[in-house]
Structure 1
Amino acid sequence: MSNIIISGLTKCFETPTGSIKILDDIDLTIKEGEFVCLLGPSGAGKSVTLNCISGFLTPTSGSVVVDGTPVVKKRPHYGYVFQQPRLLQWRTVAENLRFALRGETGRASPGEDEKIRSVLDLVNLTGYEDFYPHQISGGMQHRVGIARAYIRNPGLLLMDEPFGALDEITARKLRSELINTWMKDQRTVVFVTHDIIEACFLADRIVIYTPKPTRIASIIDVDLRRPREYGSAQMHDVESKVLEVFEKTMKEFMDADAA
């Protein structure tokens, strides 16, 4: 498990017409084993935040520290789950996972077969080792993507709207499976979403982002026991609270923009 300390994080991108500020002085601490959702409108810098945590992007100013080490000095040991599964279509499920295991060295590592069996069992895909991506459903492909993130045993999982392109029935099933998997060892998770219901179902805390240049509008604790039930009175209360803050944030932004 990993802890994350984000201090004064600002990220700008240079364009032919000038600098664009995406993140503006973000401060956020994420505890070991915590499941945190970043919730905000499209283009608010949620994925940029993930990429600064991973070390893929360098902050313009401020810092990101994971387990006591700045990511600009050493990238953390993390697993990344993308919006699309991004599987290698010419490799089987097991071969996709084996490729991930060998990603850093290009060489075989001890116990590969056992690690593959274990992680497939974790995401309920035992028996699908020899299937190719086109032979399994979209939801199952997303489970392979989660298995790929887990297979190198990271303490930190970064998840970028992994269920955003799925129908709601499939997404709900995968959210439940994700939480069941996470509850077995409670790794630190930073999960990007623009879906209020999804955030309330998954998160220990919800970080609400403003439109860019992005700041944190509010952080809401979700003090509900798991497993959570869609449509329950408790879930409805949290969803209403988050929606109220989100709508207020968007209204303030639009009013300021109009002025």
Structure 2
Amino acid sequence: MFLITAVSAAQAADFSHLQQASVTFRRAGKRYGDRQVLSGVDLHIESGEVVAIIGPSGSGKSTLIRLINQLENLSEGEIFVDNRPTAGLSGAGLRQLRSRIGFVFQQFNLYAHLTALHNISVPLQVVHGWKKAAAQQRAHELLVHVGLADKASHLPSQLSGGQQQRVAIARALASSPQIILFDEPTSALDPEMIGEVLQVMKSLAQSGITMIVVTHEMQFAREIADRVVFIDGGEILEVASPARFFRQPTHPRAQRFLKKVLDPLHQDFFS
């Protein structure tokens, strides 16, 4: 079970102003040369839904979410955001799509030469055309929300891994996206730092924004997600509520996966 660090009321994230959007995959696939990474993906994610994508390493989880904002390009099939096709977008159309979708990476991807505040405000100025004062005000508000107001002037090298990831989450939220994608956001963190990031994500999930989270944190998926999507070999093998998936997974591969990854002390998942 993960640990949640205590945060004060002033630090608790309030993202209630964020909007929502749906995502639909229709027979979506991705190939690298002769290697099929994803195949025949059919999945609809409702507006405001929190979906956890889980499965073994190399199963196609990260590729699945990177297709949504075209960090990877589809090889076949279609993806829709709010019933609008995303295939073939470029230029202003692609920029508009990406402005609606926040992305949080495994390795933070912060600019080493910029402070925490400037890591959030500068992209708003350069990419979205915000005025400097407005961008910095927005950055400060988000740092308050993720409990890092006192770290605004710190460089990434002066922050812990958990703090860097919280800055990255704030940056992803800066343009008020309708969807936020997480690609294993705690995988690069020491165990003692995971809780502070999960706490921010938990607050965000309660706000109603659409969240798609690739994660190895089974307890987080169980407690926060509306649905769990299990992927292996580039195919979706099971989609279920956390209550059913963690207690009675139906696909044999999902059963084997859970028995392998869950701590023996927590076998009540199956009880």
Paired residue for 1:227?
none
Counterpart-to-counterpart distance in 1, 2:169 and 2:53: 18
Counterpart-to-counterpart distance in 1, 2:76 and 2:186: 31
Q: Percent identity?
A: 28
TM-score (norm 2): 0.78
Trace 1:158-197 onto structure 2 (pairs within 5 A): 158-183=181-206, 185-197=207-219
Paired residue for 2:13?
none
What displacement does 1:198 show?
3.3
Paired residue for 1:222?
242
Check whether the contact 2:121–2:138 (CA below 8 A) recurs between aligned residues.
Answer: no
TM-score (norm 1): 0.81
Paired residue for 1:51?
66
Paired residue for 1:256?
none
Counterpart-to-counterpart distance in 1, 2:241 and 2:258: 20
Partner SS state of residue 127, structure 1: helix
Check whether the contact 1:205–1:222 (CA below 8 A) recurs between aligned residues.
Answer: yes
Counterpart-to-counterpart distance in 2, 1:217 and 1:250: 13
What displacement does 1:107 show?
6.4
Counterpart-to-counterpart distance in 2, 1:161 and 1:179: 15
Paired residue for 1:90?
113
Name stretches of at least 5 consecutive residues in structure 2 with no aligned partner. Answer: 1-19, 260-271
What displacement does 1:52 show?
1.0
- Count the aligned residue pairs: 231
Trace 1:69-148 onto structure 2 (pairs within 5 A): 69-72=84-87, 73=89, 74-75=93-94, 76=97, 77-104=100-127, 108=131, 111-148=134-171
Relative distance call for 1:174 and 1:107 in structure 2 (3 A) is closer
Check whether the contact 2:116–2:155 (CA below 8 A) recurs between aligned residues.
Answer: yes
Check whether the contact 1:218–1:245 (CA below 8 A) recurs between aligned residues.
Answer: no
Paired residue for 1:200?
222
What displacement does 1:169 show?
3.0
Counterpart-to-counterpart distance in 2, 1:37 and 1:239: 12
Counterpart-to-counterpart distance in 1, 2:114 and 2:196: 26
Check whether the contact 2:56–2:257 (CA below 8 A) recurs between aligned residues.
Answer: no
What displacement does 1:202 show?
2.9
Check whether the contact 1:81–1:149 (CA below 8 A) recurs between aligned residues.
Answer: yes
In the alignment, residue 186 of structure 1 is paired with which amino acid? Answer: G
RMSD value over aligned CA atoms?
A: 2.4
What displacement does 1:154 show?
0.4
Name stretches of at least 5 consecutive residues in structure 1 with no aligned partner. Answer: 224-236, 252-259
